[in-house]
Chains A and B, each alone.
Chain A
Amino acid sequence: MSTQRTTQEEDPVATLAEGLSLWVGKLSDLVKKVVDTGPIRNVVNWARMYSLWPVNITTACCSAEFGAASGARHDLERFGVLPIGSLRQSDLIVIEGTITKKMAKRLRMIYDQMALPRYVIAMGDCAMSGGLFHDSYSIVNGAHEFVPVDVYVPGCPPRPEALEQAIIMLQEKIRRSKVYEQG
């Protein structure tokens, strides 16, 4: 053990690498500090707020109201919300209703595959607490049991206006939070 230590101390490459990593670590801390204070944070958060692309995953019947909200009258795209098929390019999961035990595993996998930062809106009573089906043998009582949730939308199903409100609340949350602490 002692011989190893002496060789390491004498090795100029290891010493240099150690010093470099220390320096890079300090630099990244500095970058984080600079980004989080001042106008860069506002720019980054502004970009994140208005391009919330939800991944195309429907868990249950609230998808009907999600569809209505994306449709012609309510048009979620004016908030920058564009449902998209590819999960690697999306930032948001809207959990639309009841989560069964079979679906919960897949939902968690989709969440894990998404790039940071990622946000979750739990839509409907079922995604909050099981709702109408709380005593069923095959469902998970609430989305918070397996993914962190940013905004809850109560209702069975919530009206499209409620979903719009949730999007605005999420945007407000993003606006106030630090760049490196999101998702």
Chain B
Amino acid sequence: MSAPSKPVPLTTVESTETSDSGAQTLTLSVGPQHSGSGHMRLIVEVDGDIIVNVAPDPGYVHRGIEKIIELRNIIKSIPVIERPSIIDASNLNHAWVRSIEEIQGVEVPRRGQYLRTLLNEMNRIMSHLYWLSIYGVFLGHTTMFMWPLGDRELFIDLAEKLTGARITYSYLVPGGVRRDLPPGFAEEAVKRTEYFEKRLKEYDRIFFNNPLFTSRAKGIGVLSKEKAIELGCTGPTLRGSGVDADLRKDEPYAAYSELEFEVSTRPDGDSFSRAMVHMDEMRESCKMIRQIVKKIPAGPIRRKAPIVLPRGVAYGRVESARGECSFYLIGEGGDKPYRARYITGSYRNMAAIPAVLLGNRLADMPTAWWSIDYWPVEADR
């Protein structure tokens, strides 16, 4: 993953060069405008059609969010924090409010915890579905682009009922959540998750058991267990390499300690395993949603929390759809933080992109690259 030997110009210019061994390599600039999705550039060096060197060029969506947080008060920061991963907004929001509550010492009521978990799991499904639809685009499978986006609307409607917004909720606030469950939500949630589980079987039939996909994904982009740990991967990328690591189990927060679910791991570490981990997580999230609407306790949803951030340091982390998302927060007594370090799952997984691409053919690049579930906005912040 070293930088290319020659500076690559701004355009998609191809340059040929001869290495010491006499082999000819070609440097290609893939992105930021390319036929898939994702606003990042990969500088790929190929020998024939074998990828010999990859250098990611992120930063096309760097908006300086860490600096903006320092200029806003802690409540006004919530919408800013959601924007990096708009399809997984509530999980990022959860990491922020967790770190604030840790400094303030505020305890969230149990009903509030359950509602947070509910929205987080709905968001995980939506995020994975969006990932799957873009995977369909990358592989030229138009049905797999349309179906997940259509089924994603099931959960978008549900979230809209609960929070009032389609994808940017700002639902989690320090001390609890903004709104209570609307009437008739539980029945609707059960109905929709049960329908969605039936649809997942159809996904398996048309895509995941389809030779068109399996022959392109099995054995492609292998990331071994040791390498995944060494690179510091998280989330589905890490679990796809056979490591049983999930913050929801390892360090249960919100209501996860009271719910029954399994952490899905796959030993192979190839693109197919990572895709299947996503599928398993969607099934588990459906089960969790049904458990939550059944078990949810009565009581207040929000406890009054101060608007100021007392002097102190906190580290709040959650398992977002793309891996561990964390905040390192320093308060100095005012309503704004002194410093907030913001690390997201995609940022941690960026190191895995060269690792999965090296040695593969250029034509296998979309399969291997997008199986990492790299969301550039989230990584650049």
Tell me the A residues contacting B by CB distance below 8 Å.
55-65, 67-68, 70-73, 85-87, 98, 100, 102-103, 105-106, 109-110, 132-133, 135-139, 156-157, 159
Contacts and interface: CB of A to CB of B under 8 A. Distances in A.
B22 interface: no
Size range of the chain B interface in the assembly: 35 or more
Contacts of B147: 72
Contact of B35 (A56, A73, A102, A133): A56
Contacts of B377: 60-61
Interface in B162-179: 166-168
Interface on chain B toward A: helix, strand, loop, or mixed SS? helix
B23 interface: no
13 contacts: A59-B61, A60-B39, A61-B83, A63-B37, A67-B130, A67-B134, A71-B152, A72-B147, A72-B153, A100-B60, A103-B39, A132-B83, A136-B68
A102 B153 contact: no
Contacts of A87: 33
Contact of B64 (A64, A71, A138): A138
B124 to A, nearest CB: 15
Contact of A55 (B33, B37, B152): B33
Contact of A56 (B33, B130, B150, B168): B33
B168 A71 contact: no
A137 B79 contact: no
Interface in B355-381: 377
Contacts of B311: none
B33 A65 contact: no
A86 B36 CA distance: 11
Interface string B130-156: 100110000000000111011011001
B64 A136 contact: yes
B62 interface: yes
Contacts of A135: 68, 71
Contacts of A58: 37-39
Interface string B201-240: 0000000000000000000000000000000000000000
Interface string B56-85: 000111111101100100000001100111
A165 to B, nearest CB: 16
B62 A102 contact: yes
Contact of A137 (B61, B67, B87): B67
A65 B145 CA distance: 14
Nearest to A73: B153
Closest 3 CB pairs of A and B: A71-B149, A72-B150, A85-B35
Contacts of B133: 67, 71
A45 B332 CA distance: 61
B264 to A, nearest CB: 25
Contacts of A136: 63-65, 67-68
Nearest to B380: A100
A109 B68 CA distance: 29
Given A71-B145, A71-B152, A85-B35, 10 more contacts: A56-B34, A67-B133, A67-B149, A71-B146, A71-B149, A71-B153, A98-B63, A103-B39, A109-B11, A156-B168
Given A100-B63, A103-B39, A106-B32, A61 B68 contact: no
A54 B368 CA distance: 26
Nearest to A58: B39
Contacts of B79: 132, 156
A120 to B, nearest CB: 15
A136 B36 CA distance: 28
Contact of A71 (B71, B83, B84, B150): B150
